[in-house]
Every structure is written in C-alpha cells, then in structure tokens.
A and B are shown apart, each in its own frame.
Chain A
C-alpha cells in the first residue's frame, strides 16, 4: 500500500518534470509548417527527423566542431576541479589549523560576487597572460578548484565520522594516504555529484566562452545555441530545440552513469568494514 502510493507520487512527479522536455523533443521534430499551427500540437503530426540532419550539416553553426570544442573544455575542466576541489575540501574539513575558518569564509565570499563586475578585470588578466582567444580561460581556473565544489565536498567530508581519521592515523597513515584511501572512497557519492554538476555547468555555460573566445571555430555548443535566434530572419524553433536536445543528451548519459555512485553511500559500503 505504502509502496504503491510512493510509486504513484513518483510517477506523477516524473511526468510533470518531463512535460517541458517532451515539448522540447517534439518541437525539434516538427517541420516548419507545423510550427505555425494554432493551437500548437502537442506531438508532431508528421515528425521530420531531417531537421537533425540539417542542424548537423549547417555551416553557420558547425555542431560537430562545437561539440568537440565543448568536450575538450569540459574534460580538462572536470579533471582539474575534481582533483583540486577534493584536496582543498580535505584541507578545509579534516585538518585543524589556524586561519582555516577565515580562509573558508573568504572562499565563500568569492562566490557571492557576481561575474559581471569582475568580468572586465578578469579579461584584462587573461589578456596579459595571452589567453584570450584560447581555451585556457575556460579550463585552467578549474584546476585551482571551484568554490562551489569545494564547499559541497567539504560539507560531505564533515558527515564522515572523525574516528576514521583517528584509526588511520594510528595505523600510521599520513594525511595523503588518509585522503586517498579513506576519505575519497567514502566520498564517492559527493564526487559523482560534483562531476555531474560541474559537467553540466561547463557544458551549458555560454557567457565565459562568449567573452574569452575570439573566433567562430572555437565556440562551444551552448554559445552556438544563441545563434539560432537571428535578428531579422526569425528563429528556427525546431532547429533550436534539436540542438538543445543534442546538448542535453550527453549530460543525461553522464547522469545515468554517475547516479549509481551517489545512491550507494556509507549505508552500503559500510563504515564498520
């Protein structure tokens, strides 16, 4: 009875959460003539998969090229943020040292300043480094950890019982081994979340690529998306939604892969071990 209720609730929620995405998918398959139907049709009457082919072959927004660019940036950025954010979060949560809280507060504060007001000074720094027009401004900063990810990991590290560190220390483990052998394996769910959320952030970011890249051939998928709205030629809704669908797909796969990690926390790995 209770289980059935839970399933029904979940099913209703899932449908509600999916409806807008079904709109996206169905719009991406509607031929131009059908876009103009009033009231709009829920599902395409005559689906036209050719829209995807046209989008993939378009010369103005070369989707495969942009996908490759986005992939390079995302992979480099993800690798960096996972490594450094975890290490920094460890320093902020499992090691007691003076000034820790002050520095942590400063780190939190850096998140609170909106990008627009630091955009120009940041641009100037990257210009002096000669990075404008390259992918570097988009992934190098991730190697210094990102405040959001550090914060998230720190909070998760805090939920791991202290006794584990003590035990490790008594076994003669240094901080590095404790981090690598005990904390990281236990924090897999949190790491998986960081990976997924960071992937999505970088994958969908369009402001930073817009500001720091210089040439058409370097652009990313999310930036390419903005080019489907031309100023006097009209927006190709079906193409826009087709690209959106293609952008969403890899993130969805990543999620499916990663979610196995974050539903198995301490509960199943067992701390008594």
Chain B
C-alpha cells in the first residue's frame, strides 16, 4: 500500500525517537512539579488552618512564597507539555489551575496521564520503533 500506515516517510529514522525522548522528559518534569507543588500546597493549607490555634504568620508566608515560586515553574512545565501533546484549551486551563487548588494536581495528573500522555506515548513509540507487526488473537 503506497504511502501507507507503516511504510513510506521522508523523515530520518531517529526523528520520532528524539520526539519521544522530549515528550518523556517533559512528562517526567511535569509529574515531578505536579507532586512537589501539590505537596507544598497541602503543607501550606495545613499551616493556614493551624493559624487558628497557633499564630505563626511567618511560616505561612514562607511556605506561601515557596508555593508561589514552584507554581511558576509548574506553569512553564505544564504549559509546555500541554502544547506538546496538543491539549485543547479548556483541559489546558484545568491543568494550569490545578496547581492552585489543594489535592487537585494529583487528580489532574492521573487524568492527564490516562487521557493524553499514554495515548500520545503509545503513538509515538509505535512511530519510533521499527514496525514489528503485533500479532492479535
């Protein structure tokens, strides 16, 4: 079959492999940032609730600033990933805002992994590896 699904392309063979590596790196960075930002945000919330009993404004401010800084990094990494995987606009907004809502980064990370990262990597890996036919029952 000409120009078919398996054969026929003008690209050098290592191009998709490179793209897969880039996607993988971005996924790892995103996951690290999602978990770190999420944990710091939970710590911040616990501290803020403790304010009612112990007045320690200093700790809240410091953790708040740490979360603020981490969130900027999270934004950059998550936005890069969303663009790389061609996420639609509203899911992108959801991913970006997740970093400001407690526990949300963990939930969104799982959803993004299932809904976007795994299919993309499955497609990318199929493209990067030589077309070994997959026998099906």
Verify that A and B bind, or say they do not: no
